[in-house]
């Protein structure tokens, strides 16, 4: 019980809530996390939507996604508490930095060496309503590992990570189609997301005790803003070049 209290006590600290929702830096970080969660979760949203198709009833599909949403919130809360505790150990930080760097490098590698796609896909086996809900929650939990690690590398305030993650989960449910359309129009946004992950891995590695260089969240927010502007500039250039 004492261990559980130590893990989740920060979620009820007034100072952490004030830093998260009453300061411009906290709100900017929450917005950054929510945007990154949306960008990185588009494929996940498509997979989750596919889980509900076998129900064959739009009402049941919406209900399953809603139940799955609440289950995902609960497991996200549990995972952030554990992750925030583990990130206090420099060895876990080093592994996390390496994994985030691998994610970024692997993404760009796959753009040059794409995986072969199967010509025929096996039809999904029908599931019961609650079986679908359980599948959605489990998939959300697996998908959240990357985003939680990324979020904790940006800010170790669990309130900021929790709010940003919850907004991202909600957006993944209801804004997935819009994000798919946006990425279809501006595919460079996905590249930008993985550039940010690479930068976050460097930020996390620099915070290791033997290096002890802290990159402030203000600098990171400015970097994100510049990355967005650069992405739109590259997209405009590519479109102009294509039309020419």
pLDDT tens digits, one per residue of 87-109: 666 787 788 788 878 888 988 88
Average pLDDT in the 157-178 region? 71
Averaged pLDDT of the chain: 75
- The token pair at 196 is 């940010």
Model confidence pLDDT, tens digit, residues 207-244: 888 888 888 767 877 888 898 899 999 999 999 888 87
pLDDT score, position 124: 46
pLDDT score, position 143: 60
- The token pair at 112 is 């040059």
Q: Which residue has the tokens 């592994």?
A: 95
How far apart CA 144 and CA 127 sit, in angstroms, is 23
Who has greater pLDDT, 195 or 81? 195
Model confidence pLDDT, tens digit, residues 172-208: 666 555 655 677 788 888 888 788 888 878 887 888 8
pLDDT score, position 233: 94
Model confidence pLDDT, tens digit, residues 112-156: 876 665 544 444 455 677 877 777 777 666 666 666 777 777 777
pLDDT score, position 50: 57
Residue-wise DSSP of 160-194: HHHHHHHHHHHHHHHSHHHHHHHHHH-THHHHHHH
What is the pLDDT confidence band of residue 46, given thresholds at 50, 70 and 90? low
What is the pLDDT confidence band of residue 80, given thresholds at 50, 70 and 90? confident
Q: Please check whether residue 71 is in contact with residue 137, taking contact to mean a CB–CB distance below 8 angstroms.
A: yes
pLDDT score, position 54: 61
Average pLDDT in the 69-92 region? 73
Q: Is 56 left (phi over 0), alpha (psi -120 to 50) or beta?
A: left
pTM of the model: 0.61
Choose the weakest-confidence range: 5-14, 19-28, 188-197: 5-14
Q: Which residues of 99-118 are buried (b: 16+ CB within 10 A; e: fewer)?
A: bbbebbeebeeeeeeeeeee
* Residue 220: closest CA among 200, 191, 239: 200
Neighbouring CB atoms inside 10 A of 165's CB total 25
CA-angle at 78, arms to 209 and 49, nearest 5°: 115
How far apart CA 9 and CA 4 sit, in angstroms, is 8
Residue 85 CB burial class (10 angstroms; 0-12, 13-18, ≥19): middle
pLDDT score, position 146: 63
């Amino acid at each position: 019980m004492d261990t559980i209290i130590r893990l989740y006590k920060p979620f009820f600290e007034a100072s952490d809530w004030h830093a998260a929702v009453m300061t411009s830096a906290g709100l900017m970080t929450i917005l950054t996390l929510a945007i990154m969660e949306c960008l990185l979760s588009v494929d996940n949203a498509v997979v989750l939507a596919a889980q509900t198709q076998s129900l064959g009833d739009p009402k049941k599909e919406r209900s399953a996604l809603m139940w799955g949403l609440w289950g995902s919130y609960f497991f996200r809360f549990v995972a952030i508490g554990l992750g925030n505790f583990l990130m206090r150990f420099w060895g876990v930080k080093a592994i996390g930095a390496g994994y985030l760097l691998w994610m970024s490098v692997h993404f760009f590698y796959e753009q040059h060496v794409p995986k072969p796609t199967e010509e025929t896909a096996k039809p999904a086996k029908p599931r019961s309503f609650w079986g679908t809900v359980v599948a959605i929650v489990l998939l959300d939990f697996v998908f959240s590992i990357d985003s939680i690690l990324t979020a904790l590398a940006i800010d170790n305030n669990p309130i900021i990570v929790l709010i940003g993650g919850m907004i991202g989960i909600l957006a993944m449910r209801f804004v997935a189609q819009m994000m798919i359309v946006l990425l279809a129009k501006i595919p460079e946004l996905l590249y930008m997301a993985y550039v940010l992950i690479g930068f976050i891995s460097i930020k996390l590695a620099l915070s290791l005790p033997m290096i002890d260089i802290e990159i402030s969240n203000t600098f990171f927010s400015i970097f994100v803003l510049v990355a967005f502007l650069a992405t739109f500039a590259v997209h405009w250039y590519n479109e102009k070049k294509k039309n020419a």
